[in-house]
Structure 1
């Protein structure tokens, strides 16, 4: 009854929301699993255009029926994370998530509409399985979808499974492999050091866990596997989706949100999504029109979009702190390229580049042009 009420409400709105009900039998036990999918048509357009990299996550306790709320999020061309679509499910299982993702693919135009390349999730087995099934290559020329785990989730899982002083050295080697190794050879060296410690202790349970869950799946969770993409390097945590979930729950009290019906939570979600739309529109206006105050002193910064101006000025301030503290400089590669994580993430001048320029005047006009039009 609640499902019908919610769908009827969506069908009768002037915004012409897209909606669908899905029902499947779970592959694990044959029991029925149901869900409601909904999205604004404009957000589906954003998903189609900007869905190359997509985040998906679920949250609990948003309605009195206990249905989970899933949200798909993408980053628009102005750097704002916006919701692309939502679905509510009665049970947390991969089968219903697969069907929901297939519906979103159809709404995006069917084959070739949603050109997904990277999907980031937490370590939910249901989400991992669903992404693999929903985005199987249909033809040889299809994009292969890489499923990646949030680095922060991987770190939390490792700390949970290798907790205590007994595993401190093991955990150190694995975290170094996770966050700091720049290629597969260095990564494996660090993991081997952790495995050697476990072998000496004859801790076969932890050793087998490390081999099965981490050694064989490195492409999904380590930093080195993302160094080919600046966009992937920029996303290490779940802040976009966690911020969305917080906004959903912050806009209503804890007691009231858990009393929502399915229709009630859908209305609430769409209201909060409109606020995200307004924020995205403001970011689009600021992108090329707003100026950081330092532009008056550094007029060349005006060639950069406002978000880039903020990143560069932050690095310039860090440079001043480095020089005052006599911090050791990192040497630069040819063409004033740095090997630090900031430069890899944004391809913009970092504090080490500014420090070298401050001391040696190494930057030239072509360097500024390269960064401005990269």
Structure 2
């Protein structure tokens, strides 16, 4: 099969999701509220096109859309603890009653674990805005086995050995980066 262009891939994903929606009882039966996609423009476009309500916030209504905007601000744009707290409080005021408990338990209580302001103490953390490194790590764990079928037969010890082997490979490659030759102190980050 020839390789498709990203726009065609997005069209294929949209068509698949529309068939899945019809199978699940039509657009009214399946009201998608959230979608997590890979870092793939085609996947993101396919989901946006298949679930038009996500674009406008129509699946949750204007109150949720406004609350979401406050939470998004708390997550990405507030650089202080107080600013983040103000955005979360505004989200709780704007949210419909049935969402307030969720915001309190999933955003307010653990804000210091995820909010942008919590990264301010570390220049390294401020630079890491994607999950690409984690996805790359998972990909290498899955693809470094001689035979994928072999991985299903790993014992707990075999799985741990496999992960340690991949970790050693990553450690070696990190210390061989050209930047480490130019700036030897960078090697301290890979220990």
Q: TM-score, normalised by structure 1?
A: 0.30
Is 1:191 the counterpart of 2:88? The answer is yes
Q: Does 1:258 align with 2:152?
A: yes
CA RMSD, Structure 1 to Structure 2 (Å): 3.0
Q: Kindly state the Cα deviation for residue 227 of structure 1 after the two structures are TM-superposed.
A: 1.3
Match of 2:104 among 194, 201, 211: 211
User: Matches of 2:109 and 2:76 in 1, distance apart?
Assistant: 17
Cα 1:163–1:264 change in 2 (3 A) is farther
Relative distance call for 1:181 and 1:267 in structure 2 (3 A) is closer
Please point out which of 108, 114, 118 is paired with 1:221.
114
Aligned equivalent of 1:323: none
Go from structure 1 to structure 2 and tell me whether the alpha carbon gap of 1:256 and 1:181 turns closer, same or farther (over 3 Å shift): same
Distance change in 2, residues 1:266/1:188 (3 Å): closer
1:165, distance to aligned residue in structure 2 (A): 3.8
In the alignment, the residues of structure 2 paired with residue 250 and residue 177 of structure 1 have an alpha-carbon distance, to the nearest angstrom, of 37
User: In structure 1, how many angstroms separate the alpha carbons of the residues matched to 2:58 and 2:137?
Assistant: 30
What's 1:276 paired with?
Answer: 170
- Confirm whether residue 244 of structure 1 aligns to residue 141 of structure 2: no
Deviations 1:324-350 (Å, cap 9, x if unpaired)? Answer: xxxxxxxxxxxxxxxxxxxxxxxxxxx
Q: Cα distance, 1:233 vs. partner?
A: 1.6
**Alpha carbons of 1:227 and 1:249: their partners in 2 closer, same or farther (altered >3 Å)?**
same
1:234 to 124, 127, 144: 127
TM-score, normalised to structure 2, is 0.54
Q: Secondary structure at the match of 2:176?
A: helix
Aligned residues: 127
State the structure with more CA Rg: 1
For residues 114 and 58 of structure 2, what CA distance do their matches in structure 1 show? 19
Pair 281,183 (structure 1): closer, same or farther in 2 beyond 3 Å: closer
The CA distance in 2 between the partners of 1:186 and 1:239, in whole Å, is: 28
**Cα-to-partner distance string for 1:83-119 (whole Å, 9 max, x where unaligned):** xxxxxxxxxxxxxxxxxxxxxxxxxxxxxxxxxxxxx
> What SS does the corresponding residue of 1:182 show, helix, strand or coil?
coil
Change (3 A) 1:224 1:277: closer
Deviations 1:255-301 (A, max 9, x none): 22112233433443343233223302312x64234xxxxxxxxxxxx
Higher strand fraction: Structure 1 or Structure 2?
1
Identify if the C-alpha distance between structure 1 residues 287 and 255 changes in structure 2 by more than 3 Å, giving closer, same or farther. Answer: same
Residue of structure 2 aligned with 1:168, choices 51, 65, 68 = 65
Between Structure 1 and Structure 2, which shows a larger proportion of helix residues?
Answer: 2
**5+ long unaligned stretches in structure 2:** 1-53, 187-191
When residues 207 and 279 of structure 1 are mapped into structure 2, their CA distance, relative to the original with a 3 A threshold, is same
**C-alpha displacement of 1:224:** 1.3
Corresponding residue SS for 2:163: helix
Q: 1:187 to 1:286 in 2, by over 3 A?
A: closer
1:340-374 deviations in Å (ceiling 9; x for gaps): xxxxxxxxxxxxxxxxxxxxxxxxxxxxxxxxxxx
In 2, the alpha carbon distance for the partners of 1:163 and 1:288 equals: 53
